[in-house]
Amino acid sequence: MKIASAFPSKYISAQTLDGAEPIVEIAGVVLEDVADDGQGRPVVYFKNKTAGWVLNRTNAGTLSELFGPETDLWTGRKIQLFSVSTHFQGRAVLGLRVREAPPRPVPAAPPPPPPRSQFVDDLDDDSIPF
């Protein structure tokens, strides 16, 4: 049993990813009181996911650089989540970070047909014995 499963949360964290780097689509951003301090924090929700992601200043800044400062315009944008080692209150912890989702690979064009032999092009079809 993973210990995190014993303490479920309605918010995702770096531990939630468990090493994965999912690509998700932003469904919306809302202000929620997540720390019981009376101050709302932006929480990003994703299409087809139930857990939200509480933004810190670092990730809010990254998303603002990618998509602009208006969170309403983030809806429908695809991002990739990943975890990094960082420091919080003087100790090393896993932190959740974001980057723009990589573009989908474009399928390679089929190779061109081999060039026809100049010799065959010069032959008259009636002169070929078969």
Confirm whether 83 is domain-assigned: yes
Confirm whether 114 is domain-assigned: no
The pLDDT tens digits along the chain (130 residues) read 777 677 778 899 888 888 899 999 999 999 999 887 888 999 999 999 999 999 999 999 999 999 999 999 999 999 999 999 998 899 999 999 999 999 888 888 888 887 776 555 555 555 555 4
Contact predicate 101/23, CB 8 Å: yes
Confirm whether 117 is domain-assigned: no
Q: Which helix (H) or strand (E) holds 109?
A: none
Confirm whether 35 is domain-assigned: yes
Q: pTM of this prediction?
A: 0.74
3-class DSSP assignment, residue 8? coil
Domain, as residue range, for 73: 8-103
Residue 100's closest CA among 53, 64, 130, 73?
Answer: 64
Confirm whether 118 is domain-assigned: no
Q: For the chain, what is the domain count? A: 1
- No. of H helices and E strands in the chain? 3, 5
Confirm whether 128 is domain-assigned: no
Confirm whether 28 is domain-assigned: yes
DSSP 99: E
What is the residue-wise DSSP string for 13-61?
Answer: -HHHHTT---EEEEEEEEEE--SSSS--EEEEEETT---BEE--HHHHH
Confirm whether 123 is domain-assigned: no
